[in-house]
Amino acid sequence: MKIIGPCAGIGSRLRPFTLSKPKTFINIAGKTVLEHILNKFSDTFDSDTELILIVGYRKRQITEFVKKKYSDKFKLTFIEQEPRGYNDDVPFYWGLGEAVYLANTRFEEISYPNNEADKRDGSLIFLADMIPIEEYSYLMYRYYESDVDGIITVMEVPNEDASSYGVVVVDENSIIQNLIEKPREFVSNLAIAGIYAFSNSATKALFEIIKGYLDKRAEDSKEIYLTESLQDLINNGFKIAAINLKKGILDFGRPSEVLKGNKYLLEQHSLKVEDFKELNITTEKSYIKNPVFIGENSKIINSVVGPFASIGADSIIENCILEDCVIESNTNLKNVISEKSIIGSNVKVENIIKNNLIIGDKSIF
């Protein structure tokens, strides 16, 4: 099986943080979102698995980072998604559909003796700002043990929120009948949760369907979505099951979701006092309320940190009270009292009492 990860987008909903880094590089609980995703993959897949990353915006940051950290974990392939155009020097792209299609050169047209072999050479597609709480081993078990050509993960959302998502309509056996992108009227509360797995045959058929849409695009066309191509795949006779993620998914596509994800991840693994010496963390006259994460070489002086605070490496926190916050690396905060805030890297802030702060990288206040 090959893993496809579209990582080209700019993450406009996460501005100003994505002005200086790709959206999958937001630091949560001591790691980038991409690290959390790829670490879960490496726990399930062996080092012979090909990881195909579709890169674009800040492509060098992604490729250098992944090569450094994961060359021994996967067979790495990087494919560039060319920008559709630019807005004030900021690139924009043809969308998720094109990003997935660009991986087509890595898949061969092969006849398989049985469906099991076809599945084994298939694809797993993930989105770079979503992490399922369930382990990938559970998803792969459902994929291989079901008599289907593929699976799409879904999660139940409140009926009143369903119009904000792509949703699926299923039969009594959880086989998908229809996919609707942000329906105006309620049809289902099963929202698409961003993980897809398909047999090689289904993957190749999906590429051909997407190509049809790409060949018809004009300069004023909308971006190429994946949902309508998946509907065509089902209409062509491929059996795709919906796998309900009972534990849900961590979605880091919006600032509010970043804080929710940070809270969940810290609950799973919090820094302990005995870790401070190894990480060269200095605390003076401070109270640390778990769960927290504090990066190496950081100093906490006369402050209250936590619960649910994530502080990046090489930071200095002095005379502060911080709760439910994400603070990235090399940041200097003095006389700051705040909750539910996200502050980027290389930031200097002094003398602020305010909740819900959103401060991008390399800022001074």
Which mean pLDDT values do the consecutive 10-residue runs of the chain (365 residues) have? 92 77 88 93 93 94 96 97 85 90 93 90 93 86 93 93 91 96 92 94 97 90 89 97 89 86 91 89 95 96 96 97 96 97 95 94 89
Burial (CB count within 10 angstroms: exposed 0-12, middle 13-18, buried 19+), residue 113: exposed
The answer to whether position 100 is within a domain reads yes
Tokens representing 60 are: 């060098």
By residue count, the chain amounts to 365
Same-domain check for residues 63 and 96: yes
Residue 254 CA to residue 262 CA, distance in Å, equals 12
- For residue 270, the model assigns a pLDDT of 85
- φ, ψ for residue 188, nearest 5 deg: -170, 150
The answer to whether position 159 is within a domain reads yes
- For residue 137, the model assigns a pLDDT of 86
The answer to whether position 221 is within a domain reads yes
How much is the CA Rg of the chain, to the nearest whole Å?
22
- For residue 222, the model assigns a pLDDT of 84
Same-domain check for residues 169 and 310: no
Residue 31 CA to residue 36 CA, distance in Å, equals 7
Residue 272 CA to residue 257 CA, distance in Å, equals 25
Residue-range definition of the domain harbouring residue 295: 270-359
CATH code, 324 = 2.160.10.10
Same-domain check for residues 103 and 79: yes
Same-domain check for residues 276 and 249: no
- Choose one of 194, 225, 254: the last residue of a domain: 254
pLDDT in tens, 199-237: 999 999 999 999 999 999 888 888 888 999 999 999 999
Give the residue among 339, 352, 345 at the shortest CA–CA distance from 327.
Answer: 345
CATH code, 160 = 3.90.550.10
359: left (phi over 0), alpha (psi -120 to 50) or beta: beta
Q: Is the peptide bond before 16 cis (omega within 30 degrees of 0)?
A: yes
Tokens representing 95 are: 């969308």
The answer to whether position 260 is within a domain reads no
Residue type, 360: G
Same-domain check for residues 133 and 197: yes
Same-domain check for residues 294 and 214: no
The answer to whether position 242 is within a domain reads yes
Look at the chain and report how many structural domains it folds into.
Answer: 2
The answer to whether position 195 is within a domain reads yes
Contact 281, 301 (CB under 8 A): no
The answer to whether position 213 is within a domain reads yes
- For residue 138, the model assigns a pLDDT of 86
